[in-house]
């Protein structure tokens, strides 16, 4: 539940006023509105949202109310959630691996688009009796670097395989489309350009013109502290579209780039021993992503909300559970005057936190609080 009463100006303000006893997920709705506006103004096509990045009901409702019309969903649970909160929204089922039961569920929910990256998965879709003309987007991958986390290593046909799948989609009477995912927190606009040009080449090689090209997610958040400029990404996509003889309509499905910067996550120092710091949450909880991604920018406050300003020293940081792997990778720079009861507020924590948290050892609970700015 999101607490809106007595809205504080900032995380530090909330900490000082309320003295929270659990970790706090801070949310600034204005940032989510601004991110949606940036995508809608700058992206030259349909903007959808990847639900898995943050399936909180208030997030989905706000995006829907703000004029976002489509969602990338990956499971019956996500489909049911979107159908309940955003009735009539377009849903794109872009998890290319599905059981027959999952396909039936999605079909009954009126799924508008499906991705495939493999012939057997296409067989399953066709056997399930998708209505003629349904969009099937072939997911492909390139060996492109630039993403912190490489989605290409799990899903995506190679270019030749993608061309063959496109031909099969067309022959089956479905609407052919192409899709890719450059990998999350992609810092390099050129990655999108390479993929868009490859999509044009695949379409040409197959002799199949595609109705839509879904450029996936991967757009970066400001987790490293630099403000994000999405315009170079949009410009790169726009200019690479010249590679198509007939330009398909564009779709994007940001997750992190849409929500991450609208949230911060505050955890408290529960114990301090020389250069070892124990926090009230760790890798089994809200900090789950820290094991596979760089640690985002953070600020340190005393319980009174004042910034700690001491010279920095490197410390090893542990989560609260009794498992020795519950430790943040490497070391973190912390002010010398860090004390028990202090707060560490990590920025850009809106993506891949809700939904990734376990209740291991009885932890993983936090307060959700709206603040004016994070
Ligand atoms: C996870 C995912 C996204 C969102 O990725 P971000 O890096 O969070 O933007 C988009 N599309 C698909 C198919 C995904 O699996």
Q: Tell me the percentage of the chain whose pLDDT exceeds 70.
A: 96
CA distance 131 to 133: 6
pLDDT classification of 154: cutoffs 50, 70, 90: confident
**Over the stretch 322-340, which tens digit does the pLDDT of each residue have?**
999 999 999 999 999 999 9
pLDDT classification of 227: cutoffs 50, 70, 90: confident
CA distance 148 to 105: 33
Q: Is the pTM of this model over 0.75?
A: yes
Average pLDDT over residues 157-161: 95
**Closest ligand 1 atom, CA of 151?**
15
Burial (Cβ within 10 Å: 0-12, 13-18, ≥19) of residue 68: buried
Confirm or reject: Cβ of 252 under 6 Å from ligand 1: no
CA distances in angstroms from 268 to 3, 22, 213, listed in the order given: 19, 8, 44
CA of residue 360 to ligand 1 center, whole Å: 26
**Closest ligand 1 atom, CA of 260?**
8
- Return the best residue to mutate from 72, 116, 355 for the ligand 1 pocket (most ligand atoms within 8 A of CB): 72
* Domain ranges (residues) in the chain: 2-26+260-371, 30-259
Q: Is residue 262's pLDDT more than 60?
A: yes
CA distance 115 to 97: 9
Angle, vertex CA 249, rays to CA 202 and CA 186, nearest 5: 70
Task: Please tell me the CATH code under which domain 2-26+260-371 is placed.
Answer: 2.40.37.10
Instruction: Tell me which architecture the domain covering 30-259 has in CATH.
Output: Alpha-Beta Barrel (3.20)
CA of residue 50 to ligand 1 center, whole Å: 6
Sign (positive/negative) of CA torsion 332, 322, 148, 66? negative
- DSSP assigned state of 247: P
Sign (positive/negative) of CA torsion 334, 336, 338, 339? positive
Confirm or reject: Cβ of 255 under 6 Å from ligand 1: yes
CA distance 104 to 113: 14
**Over the stretch 8-42, which tens digit does the pLDDT of each residue have?**
999 999 999 999 999 999 999 999 999 999 999 99
CA of residue 55 to ligand 1 center, whole Å: 13
Q: Tell me the percentage of the chain whose pLDDT exceeds 90.
A: 93
pLDDT classification of 4: cutoffs 50, 70, 90: low
CA distance 118 to 219: 26
**Over the stretch 100-116, which tens digit does the pLDDT of each residue have?**
999 999 999 999 999 99
pLDDT classification of 151: cutoffs 50, 70, 90: low
Confirm or reject: Cβ of 94 under 6 Å from ligand 1: yes
- Helix locations, the chain, DSSP H: 11-18, 29-42, 57-65, 76-85, 100-108, 119-127, 159-171, 189-206, 231-240, 256-259
- Return the best residue to mutate from 51, 54, 184, 348 for the ligand 1 pocket (most ligand atoms within 8 A of CB): 184
**Over the stretch 283-335, which tens digit does the pLDDT of each residue have?**
999 999 999 999 999 999 999 999 999 999 999 999 999 999 999 999 999 99
Neighbours of 51 (CB within 10 A): 24
Tell which phi-psi region holds residue 28, choosing left (phi > 0), alpha (psi between -120 and 50) or beta: beta
3-state secondary structure of 278: strand
Q: Is residue 60's pLDDT more than 90?
A: yes
């Amino acid at each position: 539940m999101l607490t809106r009463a007595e809205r504080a100006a900032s995380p530090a303000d909330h900490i000082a006023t309320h003295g929270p006893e659990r970790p706090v997920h801070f949310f600034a709705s204005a940032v989510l509105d601004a991110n949606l506006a940036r995508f809608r103004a700058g992206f030259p096509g349909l903007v959808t949202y990847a639900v898995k990045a943050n399936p909180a009901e208030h997030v989905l409702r706000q995006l829907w109310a703000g004029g976002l019309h489509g969602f990338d969903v990956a499971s019956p649970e996500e489909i049911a959630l979107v159908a309940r909160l955003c009735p009539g929204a377009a849903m794109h089922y872009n998890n290319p691996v599905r059981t027959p039961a999952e396909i039936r569920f999605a079909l009954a929910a009126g799924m508008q688009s499906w991705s495939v990256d493999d012939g057997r998965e296409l067989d399953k879709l066709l056997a399930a009796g998708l209505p003629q003309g349904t969009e099937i987007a072939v997911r492909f991958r390139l060996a492109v670097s630039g993403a912190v986390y490489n989605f290409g290593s799990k899903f995506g046909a190679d270019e030749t395989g993608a061309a063959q799948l496109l031909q099969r989609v067309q022959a089956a009477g479905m609407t052919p489309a192409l899709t890719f995912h450059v990998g999350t927190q992609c810092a390099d606009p050129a990655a999108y350009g390479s993929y868009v040009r490859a999509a044009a080449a695949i379409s040409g090689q197959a002799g199949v013109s595609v109705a839509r090209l879904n450029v996936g997610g991967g757009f970066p958040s400001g987790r490293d502290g630099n403000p994000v400029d999405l315009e170079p990404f949009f410009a790169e996509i726009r200019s690479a579209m010249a590679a198509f003889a007939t330009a398909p309509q564009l779709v994007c499905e940001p997750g992190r780039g849409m929500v991450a910067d609208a949230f911060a996550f505050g955890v408290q120092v529960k114990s301090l021993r020389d250069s070892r710091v124990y926090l009230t949450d760790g890798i089994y909880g809200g900090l789950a992503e820290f094991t596979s991604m760089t640690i985002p920018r953070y600020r340190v406050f005393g319980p009174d909300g004042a910034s700690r300003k001491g010279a920095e020293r490197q410390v090893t940081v542990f989560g609260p559970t009794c498992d020795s792997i519950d430790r943040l990778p490497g070391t973190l720079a912390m002010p010398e005057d860090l004390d028990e009861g202090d707060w560490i507020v990590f920025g850009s924590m809106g993506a891949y936190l809700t939904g990734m948290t376990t209740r291991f050892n009885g932890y993983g609970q936090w307060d959700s609080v709206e603040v004016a700015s994070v």
